[in-house]
Structure formats: C-alpha cells, structure tokens
Copies of this chain bind each other. A is one copy, B any other.
C-alpha cells in the first residue's frame, strides 16, 4: 500500500532548474544575505540538503544564478544585434532585445543588477560581464567612427559606452518596478536619449523606430 508520495521524484536536471528558479526569486526579493537557504528550499518544494547536494553552498548557488541569468541575457542581446548592420540599427535592436529580456525576467535582472553589485565576492564576476557589454558598445561606436574616417581617444569611447550602458540599466531598473510599462516603448525612449541627446530632443527632433 505505497501511499502515492505527495510529489514525485524528479531527475536532477529538472530539480536543479526548479531550485535555481526559487533561488533567483528569493535572492531578488531579499538580497543575498537576508535570503535563507531554508526559504529557497521550501520555495523549490524540496528539502535543504538536496540544494546542497546539487548546487553546493550558498555562494555557489548565487554564482549559479548569476551565470544562468547572465548567459540568458547575453544570448538575447547577441542574437538580436547582428554585427554588420549600421550603428543606429544595431543599437536599436540591442536595446529592444535587452528591454524585452528585462521585461520578461524581472527577478533575474534584479539579482544581477541590484544584488550582485554590492556584495564583495560577486561584484567582480558581474563587473566582467558588464565590461563585455561595454566593450561591445564601444566597438560599435568605434566601427561607426572609422566608417566616417574619424577617430577618437579609446578612453573617451569607453566612457561614452559606459554612460550608455548605465543609462540603459537605469531604465531597465525603472521598467522592473513598473509592470505596466511597455518594454518596446522604453527602448524607443532610451534610443532617443542615447542617440539624439537632450539638446536635440528639446529642439523637437525625435528618433522613430524603423518600420520593420
């Protein structure tokens, strides 16, 4: 009379994803330290030792979250912005993909952006990912410049790229807190600021997405 167990046994790969889902959710709500392994385990519908068996210590679990969400995001962006398009087109597609991702994975974004920044052991990890993004944007700008036969100091380029990435992240943060907001529209607004600048906007010049 094997009373049907409340919940089934599941293969490791599935349980790991459930655990990561739960971890991302709890980490994003509570922050790394305030999140407890007990809560994560409970939220995943499993007991704590299983989490340790599969994903390791709390730090390792957090890093696993970071990697999964980071990789997902990078893939979303890279898949959208083909390298042989003109700069504005690439920027636009990258932005749209990025805001789309954040809109669909608000928790994941919160873990990456809000939590990992402050905590010592992970800040570096995150900074690396961010640096890759900055590099891409800087490369894009540089490419566009060379096409016009012009040039600019590498440091300036990097700083400009940094500012663009920062502005984008900031709007993404805004988006994460405004569930009713439209990612597409937010991307358009970002494009206006980044591409045209405040002065142009004040003079009535606006950028509109290409009708694709």
Contacts and interface: CB of A to CB of B under 8 A. Distances in A.
Q: What is the copy number of this chain in the assembly? A: 2
Nearest to A30: B120
Q: Is the interface of A mostly helix, strand, loop or mixed?
A: helix
Nearest to A119: B31
A136 to B, nearest CB: 14
A5 to B, nearest CB: 36
A62 to B, nearest CB: 12
A195 B195 contact: no
Given A171-B166, A203-B148, A160 B120 contact: no
A189 B171 contact: no
Interface of A: 29-34, 87-88, 91, 114-115, 117-120, 123, 141, 144-145, 148, 150, 152, 156, 159-160, 162-171, 173-174, 186, 189-190, 192-204
